[in-house]
Structure 1
Amino acid sequence: MRHTWRWFGPIDKVSVQDAAQAGAEGIVSALHHIPTGDVWPEAEIAKRHEEIKAGGLFWDVVESVPVSESIKTQTGDWRPHISNWQETLRRLSASGIRTVCYNFMPVLDWTRTDLRWTARHGAKAMRFDLIDFVAFDLNLLKRPGASEDYDEAIREKATKRFAEMPEERRTALSKNVGAGLPGSADSYTLPQLLELLKTYSGISRERLQQNLIDFLSEVTPVAEQVGINICAHPDDPPWALLGLPRILSTEADYLHMLNAVDSRANGVTFCTGSLGARAANDLPAMVKRLAPRIHFIHLRNVHREEAGTPCSFFEDEHLEGDTDMVAVIAELLSEERRRKAEGRADHQIPMRPDHGQEILDDLKRGAQPGYPAIGRLKGLAELRGIERALSHRQYGLR
C-alpha cells in the first residue's frame, strides 16, 4: 500500500513535514475554501501542489471534491454542479491527480456527539453516543416526527439524559453534531439544519440511490477519459440519521452502485472505521469481494459499545476495536499482488491511517478533531508493521 496522510492545507496544525517524519509517502488534501458546486481554479490546484512539495511530499489523493446537496436531491443548480464536477476532474488530472474521493451522505458528513471524549489513559477520541444523539434530535433540534424513529426505551433514556445534561454540554452537543465536513469552515445552526432536512422531504432511500447512479453516469465517463479513479466513501455512521436515508452502509449498497455503473473508474473508498461501526459488516470478507474496485483505503478502528445497529461507539486505537485489522490488511495485500500480476498501473492502493487518538503532545496542539500528529503516527507505524510482516519473503503471505 502507498502510505498517505490527510492534510487540511496551511491552516492545519500538523504540517506536511510532520507527515513526512511520521513515515507518510504522499498527501491527501482538498481545496476546502472553494465553495461546493464551483469549479476548482487551476491556479488554486497548482498552489496546493506547491505547498505540499515545499514540505517534501506530493499530492496523491483528493479528499474530497464535495457533491452538492443540489446534486444529491436533483434540485436547483444540480446540472451545472455536475458539469463543474466534471471540469474539476479534468483539471485535477492535468495536474497529475489520479484518485478522487467523495461522499454522498445527505446534509451531514461524519457525525459524532463528542469530538474529544476521554478514553483510557487520558487519550482523547471521537465518539458517537446513541442516547446523546437521540436527546439532541428530540430536545435540541426538535425535528418533526423524530419520536417515530426511536423505540420507547431509547426515548426514555434520552429524555432522562437530557434532563440531567448541563447547559454547556447541550451547547457542545449541538455544535458537534452540526460540525459539517472535516476541514471545512461550514457548520450548521439548529434552524439551518432543520431547513436543510426539509430539502429531503419525499426523497426515499431508493430515490437517493438513483440520484447517485445518475450522478455517476455523468461523471464516470469523464473520469475514464482523464485517467482518474473516483471512489465513494461509506456512510459514517452506517445507518439512517435525522430521518435521512443512507445508501452506502453495507456491501449490498456498494454492489448496487458498482453494478449500476460498471466501470473500473467507479470505485470504493474502503473505510474500516465507518463500515466497522455496523456489526453485520464482515470487513475482511467485504474487502475480498470488493477488492478490484477499491481505489483508496482508510484504516481505523472503532469499538462498538453495545450490540445491534444503531449503537454507540468510539474511535479506538488502530489495532484495537472490533475490526480484525490483520485480516483486512492481508486481503488488501492479496489484491495488490493480483493487480501487479495483471500489470495494472494502480496496483499500489493509497492508504491513510484514518483518525487517531490524541496522545502525548497532541493534547496541547489543538489539531483538527480526529487528526492528531502523534496518534496518527502511532497508527501508521502499527499498520505499516502489519504490512511489513505479512509481506516478508520468509514469513509473509505468498
Structure 2
Amino acid sequence: MTQTMRWFGPSDPVTLAAIRQAGATEVVTALHDIPNGSVWPRDTIAARKAMIAEAGLGWTVVESLPVHDDLKTRGPGWDRYIDAYRRSLTNLAAEGITVVTYNFMPLLDWTRTDLAWPLPDGARALRFEWEAVAAYDIHILQRPGAERDYRPALVEAAARRFAAMDDAARTTLEATILAGLPGAEESFTSAQFRDAIANYAGIDADRLRANLIAFLDAVCPHAEALGIRMVVHPDDPPFPIFGLPRVVSTEADVAALFDAVPNPANGLCFCTGSFGVRADNDLPGMVRRLGSRIGFLHLRSVDREGGDTAFHEAEHLRGDAKMAAVVAAVHDVSRGEGRSIPMRPDHGHQMLDDLGRRTNPGYSLLGRMRGLAELRGLELGIAHAAAG
C-alpha cells in the first residue's frame, strides 16, 4: 500500500513536515476554500502541488472533489455543474492527479454526535449514538414527521434525553451534527438544514441511485480519457438519516453501481470504518470481490455498541473491522494486480500531547501516526509471511 495521510491545506494544524516524519510518502488533500460547484483552477492546483512537493511529499489522490447538490437532486443547475466538474478533472489530470474521491450523500458529509468521547485510557474518540440523533431530529431540528423514522422506544428515550439536556448541551449537540467535520464543504443552521432537506422531498433511494448513475455516466468517460479513477466514498453512517436516503452502504449497493456503469473509471474508496458500521458487510470478502475497482483505502475500525444503537472509533487494529484479514486481502489484490493502492489511516484518537492542542476532530497527528505505524507493521508482517 502507498502510505498517505489526509492534509487539510495550509491552515491544517498538522504540518506537512509532521506528516512526512510520521512515515507517509504522500498526502491526500483538496482545495477546501473553493465553493462546491466551482471549477478548480489549474494554477491553484499546481501551486498546492508545489507546496506539497517542497515538503518532500507526493499528491496523486484528491479527497474530495465535492458533488453539488443540484447533481444529487438532478436540479436546474445539472448541466452547469457537470461542465464544471469535468473542467476540474481536466485541470487535476494536467497536474498529475490520478484518483479523485467523492461522495453522494445528500447535504451532510459524515455525521457524529460526539467529537471527543472519553475512552478508558484517557484518549478521545468520535462517536455516533442514535438516541442523540433522534433527540436532535425530533426536538431541535423539528423535522416534520421525524418521529415516524424511529422506533417508539427510541422516540421516548430521545424525549427524556432532550428534557434532561441544558441549553449548552443542546447547543453542543446541534453544532456537532451541523458544523460537520474537516473536509465538509457546507454548514447549516438547523432552520437552513430543515429547508435543505425539503429539497429532497420525493427523492427516495431509487431516485438518488438513478441520479448517481447519471452523474457517473456523465463524468466517467471524461475521467477515463484523462487517466483518472473516480472513487466513491461509502455512506457515513451507512443508513438513512434525517429522512435522507443512502445508496452506497452495502456491497450490493456498490455492485449495482458497477453493473450500471462498467466504465473502469468508476471505482471505490473502500472505507473499513463506514462499511464496518454494518455487521452485514463482510469487509475482507468485499476487498477480494471488489478489489479491482478499489482505488483508495480508508483504514479504520469501529466498535459497534449494543448492536445498532451506537458506535465509536476504535483503535485501528481492534474493534469490529477484522483489520488483519482486510489487509491480507489487500495484499493479495495488490500482488495479483501488480499495483500499490493508496491508503490512509482514517481518523485517530486524540491522545497524548494532542489532548492539549487544537486539532481537527478525528485528524490529530498522534492518533493517526499510531494507526499508520500499526498498519505499516501489519502489512509488512503479512508480506513477510506470504513470502515464506
> In structure 1, what is the equivalent of residue 119 of structure 2?
119
In 1: Cα distance, 2:184 partner to 2:233 partner? 17
> In structure 2, what is the equivalent of residue 305 of structure 1?
305
> In structure 1, what is the equivalent of residue 356 of structure 2?
364
> In structure 2, what is the equivalent of residue 396 of structure 1?
386
Residue 151 of structure 1: how far off its partner (Å): 1.1
Contact 1:124 1:357 in 2 (8 A): yes
In 2: Cα distance, 1:370 partner to 1:333 partner? 26
Residues 290-312 of structure 1 show CA distances to partners (whole Å, capped at 9, x for unaligned) of 1110000000011010114xx31
> In structure 2, what is the equivalent of residue 210 of structure 1?
210
Residue 120 of structure 1: how far off its partner (Å): 2.0
Residue 185 of structure 1: how far off its partner (Å): 6.0
> In structure 2, what is the equivalent of residue 155 of structure 1?
155
Question: Where does 1:9-48 land on structure 2 (aligned, <5 Å)?
Answer: 9-48=9-48
In 1: Cα distance, 2:169 partner to 2:377 partner? 39
Choose 9-18 or 54-63, whichever is displaced more: 54-63
Q: Which runs of 5+ in 2 are unaligned?
A: none
SS at match of 2:386: coil
Contact 1:108 1:181 in 2 (8 A): no
Residues 144-192 of structure 1 show CA distances to partners (whole Å, capped at 9, x for unaligned) of 0000001111111111111111221110110111123623463210011
Identical aligned pairs, as a percentage?
A: 49
In 2: Cα distance, 1:186 partner to 1:102 partner? 14
Choose 174-183 or 55-64, whichever is displaced more: 174-183
Contact 1:110 1:237 in 2 (8 A): yes
Contact 2:35 2:185 in 1 (8 A): no
Contact 2:305 2:311 in 1 (8 A): yes
* TM-score, normalised via structure 1 length: 0.96
Contact 1:15 1:55 in 2 (8 A): no
Alignment of 1:337 with 2:335, yes or no, is yes
SS at match of 1:269: strand
Corresponding letter in the other structure for 2:386: G
In 1: Cα distance, 2:120 partner to 2:300 partner? 17
Residue 79 of structure 1: how far off its partner (Å): 1.3
Contact 2:62 2:99 in 1 (8 A): yes
> In structure 2, what is the equivalent of residue 322 of structure 1?
320
Matched positions, count? 388
Choose 383-392 or 159-168, whichever is displaced more: 159-168
Question: Where does 1:172-191 land on structure 2 (aligned, <5 Å)?
Answer: 172-180=172-180, 182-184=182-184, 186-191=186-191
In 2: Cα distance, 1:179 partner to 1:102 partner? 19
Residue 351 of structure 1: how far off its partner (Å): 0.2
Pick closer, same or farther for the CA change 1:91–1:185 going to 2, 3 Å.
Answer: closer
> In structure 2, what is the equivalent of residue 381 of structure 1?
373
SS at match of 1:335: helix
Alignment of 1:91 with 2:83, yes or no, is no
* TM-score, normalised via structure 2 length: 0.98
Contact 2:351 2:367 in 1 (8 A): yes
SS at match of 2:317: coil
RMSD: 1.1
Contact 2:234 2:248 in 1 (8 A): yes
Corresponding letter in the other structure for 1:384: R
In 1: Cα distance, 2:149 partner to 2:296 partner? 34
Contact 2:36 2:185 in 1 (8 A): no
> In structure 2, what is the equivalent of residue 246 of structure 1?
246
Residues 336-378 of structure 1 show CA distances to partners (whole Å, capped at 9, x for unaligned) of 01111xxxxxx11000000000110111221111001000000
Residue 23 of structure 1: how far off its partner (Å): 0.5
SS at match of 1:361: helix
Residues 17-76 of structure 1 show CA distances to partners (whole Å, capped at 9, x for unaligned) of 101000001010000111100110112101111221222211121000000000000112
Residues 192-248 of structure 1 show CA distances to partners (whole Å, capped at 9, x for unaligned) of 100110000001110000000000001000111000011000000000000000000
Contact 1:27 1:58 in 2 (8 A): yes
Contact 1:180 1:188 in 2 (8 A): no
Contact 1:231 1:294 in 2 (8 A): yes
Choose 290-299 or 50-59, whichever is displaced more: 50-59
In 2: Cα distance, 1:55 partner to 1:326 partner? 32
Corresponding letter in the other structure for 1:396: A
Pick closer, same or farther for the CA change 1:64–1:113 going to 2, 3 Å.
Answer: same
